[in-house]
Chains A and B, each alone.
Chain A
Amino acid sequence: MAISRSDVERIAHLARLEIDAGQAEDVRAKLDAIFALIDELNAVDTRGVVPMAHAQDLSLPLRDDVVTEADRHALFQRTAPAVEDGLYLVPKVIE
């Protein structure tokens, strides 16, 4: 599977990464090499193998449904660029 320049640009856009044309070509070549490796892995017959969801063979620990967190918004918002009335302010977003 070959990765095109438009694939790279699309992925960069989805991840909100700003890359210039030179970087895009560099990334495209590197991704191509990675996908070549994946193509090799694809040759392995994995029929009947349960897809792995996690690197370690663990099951999820659960917590009881209890409120344990106090209000710490004043502390958290000390690093926010802009706040007002307890709200974080961000550049205007319109759907």
Chain B
Amino acid sequence: MKWEVVIGLETHAQLSTASKIFSGASTAFGAAPNTQAAAVDIALPGVLPVLNRGAVERAIRFGLAVGATINRRSVFARKNYFYPDLPKGYQISQYEIPVVVGGTIVIATPQGDKTVRLTRAHLEEDAGKSLHEDFHGMTGIDLNRAGTPLLEIVSEPDLASSDEAVAYAKTLHALVQWIGICDGNMQEGSFRCDANVSVRPAGETKLGTRCEIKNLNSFRFMQAAIEYEIHRQVALIEDGGRVVQETRLFDPDRNETRSMRSKEDAQDYRYFPDPDLPPLVIGDEWIERVRAALPELPRAMQQRYAADYALPASDAATLTASRGLAAYFEEVLRALGGGAANAKLAANWIQGDVAAALNRAEIGIEQAPVPAAALARLLSRIVDQTISGKIAKDVFDAAWAGEHGGDPDAIIAAKGLTQISDEDALGRIVDDVLAANAAMVAEFKAGKEKAFNALVGQAMKATRGKANPAQVNAILRRRLGG
């Protein structure tokens, strides 16, 4: 039987505010236990939560970026459950009326672009952390994370494979960083996903019973967990069993999911509006202010690159992987004077030599020792034929290493790398090459086109790469009567 996979994702993006969602405690990561847990966060009696404007603003920004509706009035609710890292006995969340409704995320698939619908995005607080290492048979509780603002982003079950789920998560991950609402640090738990996975016979319209896989904090784990879960469910049904709705946990060591809570023990959260918090009202003027400050979004940028510079879609996608990278590309291009040819040159260099050097150094574009202005100067020396593309790679490496203050022109001058474009000088070099390589000349005349390239190579070698290759080509053709 052919099976169809249906996946929806719930993503918790930690909002990049300085203080918590309902208290003035810091959200900085890595502080000593409980040093960033204020009276509100540890639920002392008599305290009241006061909502952080910065958290709301980030939710609005997200809603606008995905084309969603911003609810002018939304309601905070209590989600009740008992756990020691949740000292109030409830989590403040949004239930019936969230701040953001609808919207879409467009993902790239091998079959082309696919629009994934979003159900909603709501504001809520994070819980604390339980440390289960042995404290004389007890559990340690750190409430520093309690009250950290989260935006829970819920997708419709529009994803049809683990590849699509990962593509969606990656697109969302890039977007929340792009619009500056989340630092995207998955190791620190700033961006984590739960996947709802079900299978059904191909063509069936009714959804199968789903399982929720909790806390996928890497794209690799997400892919592995979903793949395992699909095979588990299909095997179960094909063996005559049925899928039980439950929460499962992915074990990366064993590469499998296992049951966390059974349905019998299913949570009943008894949501109700939080009496401590009147409805959140967002005015049109606030929304318009946030809209005006929204940066150009990656998708719009990709379309612009394709339209203005005729860049291939894959180039445009790579260059807009982060705002820093796009800004770098645009600065290089601006300094080069724009144009499709310069855009392609800059795109190739950024995706090639620059990306490779960044990978080797394990740093981001913001830390690149060759800033955009320096790369632009280097590329302009290729454009004005001062140096060849091949020599430019050596100059780039020297600039990256900080030689001559990282200034490409200084490096070219100091190393004597200026391209030889003098017709007479090149003519003499070509004549020497022809005289010294009679065998190659004979091969060429016998119809071996390859021999021509070998002769060009000899001329380049004789000048240690400095000869203008196009001119060498032309002169050789003339000399050989081609």
- Chain B 266-301: CB-based contact to A (< 8 A → 1; otherwise 0): 001010010101111100000000000000000000
Cβ of A48 < 8 Å from any Cβ of B?
Answer: no
A93-B139 CB under 8 A given contacts A60-B51, A69-B23, A73-B37? yes
Cβ of B153 < 8 Å from any Cβ of A?
Answer: no
A77: chain B residues at CB < 8 Å are 34
Docked CA distance A55–B141 (Å) = 35
B97, chain A: closest CB distance, angstroms? 8
Docked CA distance A56–B277 (Å) = 10
A61: chain B residues at CB < 8 Å are 50-51
Instruction: State the interface size on chain A (CB cutoff 8 A).
Output: 39
A60-B260 CB under 8 A given contacts A66-B19, A89-B135, A89-B141? no
Residues of A18-75 at the interface with B, using a CB-CB cut-off of 8 Å, are 51, 53-56, 58-69, 71-73
Evaluate contact between A58 and B138: CB separation under 8 angstroms: no
In chain A, what residue has the closest Cβ to B26?
A: A67
Docked CA distance A14–B132 (Å) = 23
Evaluate contact between A86 and B34: CB separation under 8 angstroms: yes
Docked CA distance A85–B32 (Å) = 9
> Which of A16, A63, A92 makes the CB contact (< 8 A) with B24?
A63
A67: chain B residues at CB < 8 Å are 18-19, 24-26
Q: Interface majority SS on A: helix, strand, loop or mixed?
A: loop
> Which of A51, A53, A63, A69 makes the CB contact (< 8 A) with B51?
A63
A65-B17 CB under 8 A given contacts A60-B51, A84-B135? yes
B174, chain A: closest CB distance, angstroms? 24
Evaluate contact between A64 and B53: CB separation under 8 angstroms: yes
Residues of B77-121 at the interface with A, using a CB-CB cut-off of 8 Å, are 80, 82-84, 96-97
> Which of A51, A59, A69, A91 makes the CB contact (< 8 A) with B139?
A91
> Which of A16, A54, A69, A85 makes the CB contact (< 8 A) with B273?
A54
Residues of B15-47 at the interface with A, using a CB-CB cut-off of 8 Å, are 17-19, 23-26, 32-39, 42, 44
Docked CA distance A87–B134 (Å) = 12
A55: chain B residues at CB < 8 Å are 275
Docked CA distance A53–B71 (Å) = 15
In chain B, what residue has the closest Cβ to A85?
A: B33
In chain B, what residue has the closest Cβ to A94?
A: B132
A63, chain B: closest CB distance, angstroms? 5
Evaluate contact between A63 and B33: CB separation under 8 angstroms: no
B71, chain A: closest CB distance, angstroms? 12
Docked CA distance A10–B267 (Å) = 11
Docked CA distance A72–B138 (Å) = 23
- Chain B 36-74: CB-based contact to A (< 8 A → 1; otherwise 0): 111100101000001111111000000000000000010
Cβ of B131 < 8 Å from any Cβ of A?
Answer: yes
B263, chain A: closest CB distance, angstroms? 14
A23, chain B: closest CB distance, angstroms? 20
A73, chain B: closest CB distance, angstroms? 4
A35, chain B: closest CB distance, angstroms? 15
A95: chain B residues at CB < 8 Å are 260
Cβ of A12 < 8 Å from any Cβ of B?
Answer: no
> Which of A16, A54, A68, A89 makes the CB contact (< 8 A) with B19?
A68
* Residue among B24, B52, B142 having the largest count of chain A Cβ atoms under 10 Å: B24
B370: chain A residues at CB < 8 Å are none
In chain A, what residue has the closest Cβ to B283?
A: A59
A18, chain B: closest CB distance, angstroms? 13
B273: chain A residues at CB < 8 Å are 53-54
Evaluate contact between B33 and A86: CB separation under 8 angstroms: yes
Evaluate contact between B138 and A91: CB separation under 8 angstroms: yes
B44: chain A residues at CB < 8 Å are 76
B146, chain A: closest CB distance, angstroms? 11
In chain A, what residue has the closest Cβ to B83?
A: A93
B166: chain A residues at CB < 8 Å are none
Cβ of B195 < 8 Å from any Cβ of A?
Answer: no
B128, chain A: closest CB distance, angstroms? 9
A84: chain B residues at CB < 8 Å are 135, 140
A10: chain B residues at CB < 8 Å are 268
A93-B130 CB under 8 A given contacts A59-B280, A63-B53, A71-B36? yes
Q: Can you identify 7 A-B contacts, CB atoms within 8 angstroms?
A: A15-B80, A53-B279, A59-B281, A62-B50, A62-B52, A68-B19, A69-B25
Using CB atoms and an 8 Å cutoff, list the residues of chain B in contact with chain A. 17-19, 23-26, 32-39, 42, 44, 50-56, 73, 75-76, 80, 82-84, 96-97, 130-132, 135-143, 260, 268, 270, 273, 275, 277-281
Report the 10 A-B pairs with minimum CB-CB distance, sorted nearest first.
A65-B54, A68-B24, A87-B140, A59-B281, A86-B33, A69-B38, A58-B278, A62-B53, A71-B35, A73-B34
Using CB atoms and an 8 Å cutoff, list the residues of chain A in contact with chain B. 10, 14-16, 51, 53-56, 58-69, 71-73, 76-77, 82, 84-95
Q: Apart from A59-B73, A63-B50, A93-B132, list 4 A-B contacts with CB within 8 A.
A: A58-B278, A69-B24, A69-B38, A71-B35
